[in-house]
Amino acid sequence: MIEIKKMTKVFNEGTINEKVAIADLDLKINDGDFICIIGANGSGKSTLLNCLSGALIPEKGNIIIDGKDVTLLSQNKRAHGIGHLFQDPLAGTAPHMSIEENLALAAKSGQWLSTISEKDRRFFKEKLARLDMGLEDKLSVQVATLSGGMRQALTLVMNTIKTPRLLLLDEHTAALDPETADKVLKMTRETIEEKKITCVMITHNMQTAIELGNRLIMMNDGKIILDLNKEEKEKLTIDDLREMFRKRSSSELDDDRMILS
């Protein structure tokens, strides 16, 4: 169980630019939950994930992972294996290293491997073959030469090669072309289901949020305004979701990217 208790994250506190990005937020993430988060621009979705990963430390409240309070622990001290993918497909890989070197780093939790064995290579090939992008034949190719979609797919493999305690996906397919986005999303879903990974995914695609996972959370103004379980969310249409947002936030869902999807 991962628990967020009364968490508040403020940027530029005490200045004219003060912004309460997360306001007194409570959330329990059960083991095996696959949560989709939607909400307007600036509602605090990325900040919530950054607090969970340890990239940001909240001003108030607690984050408890498996009974241990990790609130003040920085990212690298949070030894729980938290995977984090971002919108930028170039963010998660080391461009001047080869595919197999990137994978070896991920497999050994960042420790440098002086030699990669044939057994390692077979293991990497098997993982890559499942992406259906031909990467299994490019193990020694420099990552900088790959397309954005290939790099994002590789980043997903790297973040799940050792089953993470928690996988955080911050619109990780938003910058990809529709076909590649579908491929990466399919692979995301399969990996999560197969390894039973606990996952929190931000998406601007309301249909994706309805279809994927077992929970749908809607955020507005640093708060959770809706938290639906699988049965509740699967009945919904996009129009229902819009209406729920309007009722609970007293505003329209003014997110251009979301309306398009």
Ligand X SMILES: Nc1ncnc2c1ncn2[C@@H]1O[C@H](COP(=O)(O)OP(=O)(O)OP(=O)(O)O)[C@@H](O)[C@H]1O
Residues that bind ligand X (CB under 6 A): 11-12, 19, 21, 39, 41-47
Smaller CB separation from Mg ion, 46 or 198:
46
Residue corresponding to tokens 């998660």: 92
Smaller CB separation from Mg ion, 102 or 220:
220
CA atoms of 21 and 42, how far apart (whole Å): 8
Smaller CB separation from Mg ion, 46 or 191:
46
Of the ranges 7-15, 38-46, 88-96, 132-140, which one interacts with Mg ion (CB under 5 A)? 38-46
Q: Does 46 bind Mg ion (CB under 5 A)?
A: yes
Q: Does 220 bind Mg ion (CB under 5 A)?
A: no
Smaller CB separation from ligand X, 210 or 218:
218
Helices (H), ranges, 175-261 = 178-195, 206-211, 230-234, 238-249, 256-260
Q: How far is the CB of 257 from ligand X (least distance, A)?
A: 8
Q: Does 93 bind Mg ion (CB under 5 A)?
A: no
Smaller CB separation from ligand X, 100 or 255:
255
Q: Which does 250 bind (CB under 5 to 8 A by kind): ligand X, Mg ion, none?
A: none
Q: How far is CA 257 from CA 40, 139, 205, 254, in A?
A: 9, 36, 8, 9
Beta-bridge mates of residue 98: 142
Q: How far is the CB of 135 from ligand X (least distance, A)?
A: 29
CA atoms of 61 and 140, how far apart (whole Å): 46
Q: Which residue is nearest to Mg ion (CB)?
A: 46
Strands (E), the chain: 2-11, 19-29, 34-39, 60-65, 68-69, 82-85, 166-170, 199-202, 215-220, 223-229
Interacting residue ranges for Mg ion, rule: CB under 5 A = 46
